[in-house]
Structure 1
Amino acid sequence: MENGIYVRYLEEDPEKPDRWITTQPIRFDTLIGEIIVPEGFVTDFASVPTLFWGLFPPIGRHNRGSLLHDYWYDNRLGVAQWGEKEARRLADLEYWIRMDQAEPKRKLRNRLMYLACRWFARGWWVN
């Protein structure tokens, strides 16, 4: 278990380093209702360039928020109900909320990670 998340490191995929797979379904209560990340979902947690890992670690107490955010993006949750822009905004907002819950004393870092997500994750949303 990694920070309350049941995951396993995917050592067998050298093409995609730093990948983890859920080993059981994980339930979240979110701004849009219940979301269940299924067993077998693959994540890299926070997609942070290696250069910035000292300031913005890809793995940490924010893992649950990162896992939910990856699942939300991969499945474009909420697009049918609210459209592309609002669904993405809600995904990013949920990530920020979860970072603040996991590490309430790191408000500035959490805000910067949220802003980086808003600025740089658009490419993942549209792909």
Structure 2
Amino acid sequence: AHICRDVNNGWLLRNLHANGASFFFICIYLHIGRGMYYGSYLFKETWNIGVILLFLVMATAFVGYVLPWGQMSFWGATVITNLLSAAPYIGTELVQWIWGGFSMQNATLKRFFTFHFILPFI
């Protein structure tokens, strides 16, 4: 909210960032389609690395979606992170680690901002 309201042309920067991410996903899906058309999935190692990168990009986009901290992003984060609690043995602890406590709170937002910043460098 600070960038949109207090920074000159901050609204433009935020919208370019959000729409640029959507355009990036369009390019990724076109790349996947091209890979499937040409049979690139036959190169197992290359394909598996691509799938891992896709999941990292999706995780980055998800935590970026949560950062505005509105109702939709709050409940979206609650539902998606609670899906991890279905993992046997470590699910509940994993969710509590991601949340930084027993519920979504400010610590969660700080963690998600950190993940949103660090994941693209991986």
TM-score range, shorter chain: 0.3 to 0.5
What is the TM-score when the length of structure 2 is the normalising length? 0.34
The structure richer in strand per residue is 1
Larger helix percent? 2
- TM (norm. structure 1) is 0.33
